[in-house]
Chains A and B, each alone.
Chain A
């Protein structure tokens, strides 16, 4: 029996505002417990929520980025449930009239080609606090710093058909929110959380199977593995005569499996109703146009522009636009040194390797765009050979200063003086008569050896192109 997997994702992106969605308390990560929880976050009597304009702006930019209709009028609703890290007894969310309506994103498929994934809606809501279940004399500890942090919940259509597609979609949304600067995307800190709705059905069926919701997924790798495990579990269950139960399951990365959460006696019954503390949010055309005007260039547009303007392959342009920081870095170097191909090779090559080795982000690279530009300029004007440039890059990475300073301090200036190179070539020919003879006899293979000897004798400083030329002239043209 052939099975088809159907996946939809609910992504919670924590919006990068300074203050909370309904209060003036700060949202910084990692503060001491409850030092960022004011009366509103604590739900003390008599307080009134007031909506953060920046959270609205951020939601609107996301809507525009996925080609969605931004609601001219959206409404906040109360989602009622009891849990100690939700002091009001309800979460302020949006239900019937979300701020962002239906949109779509395009994902690249593994085997080439693209696929459009529908976004059903995106709505603003507040986050809850955190419960710490370590033992406090048989009590639970509550930290409300996170309570009231703005979230944009992005709900997809059940359009994904494999774990890889789900990851591609999640990465796409991750890339978008980071480009827009509306979310830092930090999955470990919980700024970007993915819940996956997973079901299976017999191929060819157009009815959806019973789904389970997977939670507690804090990396793209775990997203893929959690779905893989869950699909196998569901197929096994059905093939053995069982049935999938609609429930929430937690992914356990240590055991690479999903486990049923203690099933609640009550089905979710949140009794949503419009929050009387908040009026409808009304945006007119001018408001929306003003917000859209502040949007940066988006990844797809940037990728196409890079392909065109810098004559990059689609693959290279994709890598260089993966994050806004990388794209900005590349573009600064390409324009600064005047050779886009060279800039692309260095950003994707030596720079990426060094960042990867040291586990750094490009934003805090020890060699910044200006630094790399300086190095590539010396490579282009012949001051440095490719080999020396790599050495200088390593020295720059170690903090020894600019390319020019290192070239000066180490005396690395490439020797391009014909007389000086000729003298070294003569020495090498005299010291290696056999190989010189072979080259004269037409054995081109020894050319590499002789060039190597000259480079060695010059301590890498001779211009290799000139060495080649002089060797040929002396041994072949005579």
Chain B
């Protein structure tokens, strides 16, 4: 399977990555080769094999429903570029 520049542009946009011009061709080639490898693996019959969600064969550990985190807003906001009235400020987003 091969990807073209338009595919790369779409994927890059979804990932918010800037991939332009010549780079896009190279990325398209690399990604296509990865897909070729996947295609090769698809040949193997995996009919009776359940999909693996995690390489560790262990169940998730659960934590009790207890509040353990105190308010540390001042510390945590110390590294934020802009805050006001307790809010993190970001470039305007409009729905």
A residues contacting B by CB (< 8 A) are: 17-19, 23-26, 32-39, 42, 50-56, 75, 80, 82-84, 96-97, 131-133, 136-144, 261-262, 266, 269, 271, 274, 276, 278-282
Contact = CB atoms under 8 A, between A and B. Distances in A.
B95 interface: yes
Contacts of B89: 136-137, 139-142
A36 B59 contact: no
Nearest to B72: A38
A141 B93 CA distance: 10
Contact of A24 (B13, B14, B67, B87): B67
Contact of A35 (B67, B73, B94, B95): B73
B66 A141 contact: no
A152 B88 CA distance: 27
Interface of B: 10, 13-14, 16, 51, 53-54, 56, 58-69, 71-73, 76-77, 82, 84-95
Contacts of B61: 50-51, 279
Contacts of A38: 69, 72, 76
B40 to A, nearest CB: 20
Contacts, number: 130
B86 to A, nearest CB: 4
B14 A271 contact: yes
Contacts of B91: 139-140
B92 A24 contact: no
11 contacts: A19-B68, A24-B68, A35-B86, A38-B69, A38-B72, A42-B76, A51-B61, A53-B63, A53-B65, A82-B16, A278-B54
Contacts of A19: 65-69
B93 to A, nearest CB: 5
A42 B54 CA distance: 24
B14 A18 contact: no
A26 to B, nearest CB: 5
Contact of A136 (B60, B65, B84, B95): B84
Contact of B54 (A82, A132, A280): A280
Contact of B92 (A37, A140, A271): A140
B90 A142 contact: yes
Contact of B87 (A56, A136, A281): A136
A34 B88 contact: yes
Given A24-B63, A26-B67, A56-B62, A140 B90 contact: yes
B87 A142 contact: yes
Nearest to A129: B88
Contacts of B68: 19, 24
A137 B71 CA distance: 27
Contact of B71 (A35, A281, A282): A35
Given A136-B89, A140-B93, A282-B60, A266 B13 contact: yes
B63 A34 contact: no
Contact of B69 (A25, A138, A262): A25
B4 to A, nearest CB: 17
B89 to A, nearest CB: 4
Contacts of A133: 92-95
A274 B54 contact: yes
Contact of A132 (B10, B71, B87): B87
Given A84-B93, A140-B89, A141-B88, A51 B60 contact: yes
A53 B54 contact: no
Contacts of A143: 86-88
A279 B65 contact: no
A60 to B, nearest CB: 12
Given A84-B90, A131-B93, A52 B63 contact: yes
Nearest to B65: A54
Given A24-B63, A26-B67, A279-B59, A37 B90 contact: no
A139 B67 contact: no
Contacts of B84: 136, 141
Nearest to B64: A53
A136 B88 CA distance: 10
Contacts of A269: 14
A96 B52 CA distance: 12
B49 to A, nearest CB: 15
Nearest to A278: B60
A262 B60 contact: no
A50 B63 contact: yes
Given A24-B69, A84-B90, A262 B63 contact: no
Nearest to A80: B14
B95 to A, nearest CB: 6
Contacts of A280: 53-54, 59-60
Contact of B60 (A36, A54, A83, A279): A279
Contact of A18 (B60, B67, B92): B67
Contacts of A26: 67, 69
B63 A33 contact: no
Nearest to A44: B76
A131 B87 CA distance: 9
B53 A83 contact: no
Given A51-B60, A269-B14, A139 B90 contact: yes
Nearest to B14: A269
Nearest to B71: A35
Nearest to B51: A96
